[in-house]
Structure formats: structure tokens, C-alpha cells
Amino acid sequence: MMCQSEARRGPELRAAKWLHFPQLALRRRLGQLSCMSRPALKLRSWPLTVLYYLLPFGALRPLSRVGWRPVSRVALYKSVPTRLLSRAWGRLNQVELPHWLRRPVYSLYIWTFGVNMKEAAVEDLHHYRNLSEFFRRKLKPQARPVCGLHSVISPSDGKILNFGQVKNCEVEQVKGVTYSLESFLGPRTYTEDLPFPPAASCDSFKNQLVTRKGNELYHCVIYLAPGDYHCFHSPTDWTVSHRRHFPGSLMSVNPGMARWIKELFCHNERVVLTGDWKHGFFSLTAVGATNVGSIRIYFDRDLHTNSPRHSKGSYNDFSFVTHTNREGVPMRKGEHLGEFNLGSTIVLIFEAPKDFNFQLKTGQKIRFGEALGSL
């Protein structure tokens, strides 16, 4: 009996010995990796991580038994040079297409993203010399009537990701995933047009934004898909007094990615416009995304987005209030405000009386000019 059991265990022992040596070798290699600097370690472990997630049936999972741990999917995605890719895409968009190639290229885009060219001011596809002109196409005047009965309208075409009151100084980018209001808008600094002292706590920061007694702070997040109309307009009558530019990452902002990465909107490049409307504080933020490094504000010629070099966590302030213009830039409801080069996200944060009501449903499609809410 003993001989039979030893005979049976013979192949298992030989297999264990055969596996023992590669594991020792792997441990040595992983020990060498652990002694490397962090940038070099990330560079060396990155290909293994990609293979770990791409290969079927967990082909590289035995590596975890010898001490190796893959980089998380979020960290892996954040390491992709999205700013560089977006600048390359922007250069490609500026290349003039041959006349014979324009119709097939644009027709493929129209079919892929469901673009309605009957609304375009110019329906002839040969009119658009490059992809950039096609993305920024204008609409016919009657294509988007502006609702005059409601106090706040949609500034763009898109999909409603979330809306409601701001609670606990946090805003929902999608259901159940929040980000810090102060991280998104940036700290309130003492300037001529924003005379607020530095915030001591979350509640005090919110109280700085709510300037009138009995008002509440509200938000609305609108996602622009690649097939949507890419210009955005003024959602109400208000005055823009300040611009803050955050030169951050350019990760995708589609709803699936917004559920995956916490505080996605705080990581991405964005342009925050702040000012006042008839009920107090009002802000509109244009959030950049992959291949959408170019955010343009029509009245702000000094704004340059997706620059090659930037400091992480930095921001640039610009005041539209000057000694000759004490109020800022007045905007009328529905007036052209800016544009993206592709799809992206618009975030509205504003104060209003407690009886302000949104007339929306999460996930619904909306078009520029349609009502968001009113008193």
C-alpha cells in the first residue's frame, strides 16, 4: 500500500519541484522590482498589468501567488497619456480632407453616433473642410426654440446624469458617486469680484456660495455624447464675473466611466465660469474629456486649454470685473457661450429659492433651449 501511494505521489512531487524553481526565479525578479524607483517600477509593471487584464482565464494570476500585484484598473487608465492623445486628435481634426473623402468620412460618423444633419445650418457634407468644422457645425435658427416660460433652460443637447439639491457639500456625478463641491469649484479666494474669506469648513464653503437667506444650492449635470450638438449656450440671464481654469486630466466622462472613477470631474480639465443671476450665485462649468481638450469660451480670448505643460492641482484665475467694467460679462438666456471639439459635460451649480423645481428625469435626453426648472 505504501509503495502504491508513493508511486501515485511521485508525479505530484516531481511537478511541485518543477514549479518550485520558476517561483524562486519570479521572487528574485519581483524582489529586484521592489528595489527600483517608483517611476521605473511603474514602467516595468505596466506591460504585465495590461496582459493580466487582457489575457483570458486569468493566465497571469499565478503571479499573485509569488508576491506580484497588478495595478488597479483605475490607476492603469489614469496612466494613459490622454492629454497627449487629445492634442494629437486635435491636430488630426484640423487636417483638411480631400473633397472626395468628406462624404464617406462624415457619413460614417453620422451613422455611428446618430447625428441629425437635417438640423444643421449647412446640410451639404462637402462644405465642412475638416472634422473640426463638422464637430462645431451650427444649427438652423428654428431647430432649437428657447423656452421663455422657465427661469433655467438646458445650455446644450445631452443626457441628464443627475440633478437636485447640493447636500453635505457634495455633488453627484452619477447616482451614488459623489465629488467634493470645493474640489470641483476650487477654493474661494479674496478678490475684488469675489469678496469671500477662506472657507474654514465644508458648511462654511457652501454658505459662502448661498448669498441670500432662504435659498438653497442646486446642481445639474448634462453629458454631451459625440453625436450631440457641441456648442453650449447661456442657461439663463446672468452676469459672468470670474473664470477659473483647471488644467487637469482628460479622461472619458461617459456615464460608465463616471460610475467607475470617483471625483472624475475634479480630475479632468475644466473651465468654471461664476457670477450672479437674479437669485444669487450662478456657475457653469465646462468639463473636458478624452479628445476634447479644446474648450472655447467665445468672449474669453485669453483662455487656452490642453496646453503641453501644467502643474497637477493648479488653476488659473481671470476676472472679467475691471475698473472700466464693474459688473462683468452680461449673458442673455440662449446666447452663444462656447463650444467643445467633441462630446463632454456641462455642470450647473446655482442658488435659488427653496421652491425651485426641476422638471427632469435622470437619464432623459434633453436639447438646448428646453426647460430644466423654474420657481
- In this prediction, residues 271-297 reach a mean pLDDT of 86
Query: What whole-number percentage of the chain has pLDDT above 90?
Result: 31
Per DSSP, helices labelled H in the chain are 2-34, 38-54, 73-78, 82-93, 99-113, 131-135, 181-185, 202-209, 255-260, 264-267
- In this prediction, residues 115-120 reach a mean pLDDT of 91
Least confident of 8-22, 211-225, 246-260: 8-22
Task: Give the model's pLDDT for residue 49.
Answer: 53
Q: What is the DSSP letter of 126?
A: G
Write down the mean pLDDT value for the chain.
76
State the catalytic residues.
Answer: 157, 233, 344
Least confident of 20-34, 122-136, 291-305: 20-34
Task: Give the model's pLDDT for residue 368.
Answer: 93
- The answer to whether 179 touches 253, Cβ cutoff 8 Å, is no
Least confident of 43-47, 203-207, 272-276: 43-47
pLDDT of 20 > 50? The answer is no
Least confident of 79-88, 130-139, 284-293: 79-88
Q: What is the pLDDT of residues 144-200, one digit of tens each?
A: 889 888 889 999 999 998 899 988 787 776 556 677 888 888 887 644 444 444 444
- In this prediction, residues 22-41 reach a mean pLDDT of 46
Q: What is the pLDDT of residues 338-363, one digit of tens each?
A: 988 766 889 999 999 999 999 899 89
More confident residue, 62 or 271: 271
Nearest to 269 by CA among 240, 242, 234, 306: 306
